[in-house]
Amino acid sequence: MAVTTDAAAQDLAILARNLRDAGETGLRRDLVKGIKDAADTIPPVVRRQLPGFMPAQYAAVLNPDLDMGTSVHTSVGAPGVSVYVRPRGRRKRKLPRLDRGILTHPLFGDRQHWYDQTDGVRPGFFSGPVEDAVPRVRADMEAAIERVKDQLWEGV
């Protein structure tokens, strides 16, 4: 899920490319780090809010099975930031369905018969906190871009 505006994404791509072309690896690293630090605040929020979206017992079991993270893309073709969630380990969690508010589980451990549960499950365990964080993260990312631009102009 991308969290940059088109203008900010293009600024990111152009600035990162220009820094790379100029051999400014330190400033480019600062730029990417500032943006990644802003986006890295999202996964802990998702983890803290899990019990509000599903039964607390299931949230406690699911939380260690979630691999969440962020990645920064500085290419001109697709600049921006992605926040992802995927299952960790052997368990096959149906995360897109869970994000839609559907919990699939075996009845009393009988793995031959699976059931969908919507009672006590709210949609948006992942997409909700991510969408809520977009304005704050976007502002932090734009500030990181401006900081690096200012450092660049100071060095000229």
Residue 128 backbone phi and psi in degrees, to 5 = -65, -60
3-state secondary structure of 10: helix
Domain edges within the chain: 6-93+123-155
Best CA proximity match to 142, nearest among 38, 28, 30, 22: 38
Distance CA(12)–CA(76), nearest Å, equals 9
Render pLDDT for 93-104 as a digit per residue (tens, 0 to 9): 899 999 999 999
For the cut 90, the answer to whether the pLDDT of residue 24 exceeds it is no
Residue 76, CA atoms < 13 Å, CB-side half-sphere: 5
Quote the CA–CA distance of 134 and 30 in Å, as a whole number. 21
**pLDDT score, position 155:** 66
Which tokens go with 124?
């948006």
Convert the pLDDT of each residue in 116-142 to its tens digit: 999 999 999 999 999 998 898 888 888
Q: Give CA–CA dist 61/122, Å, rounded.
A: 17
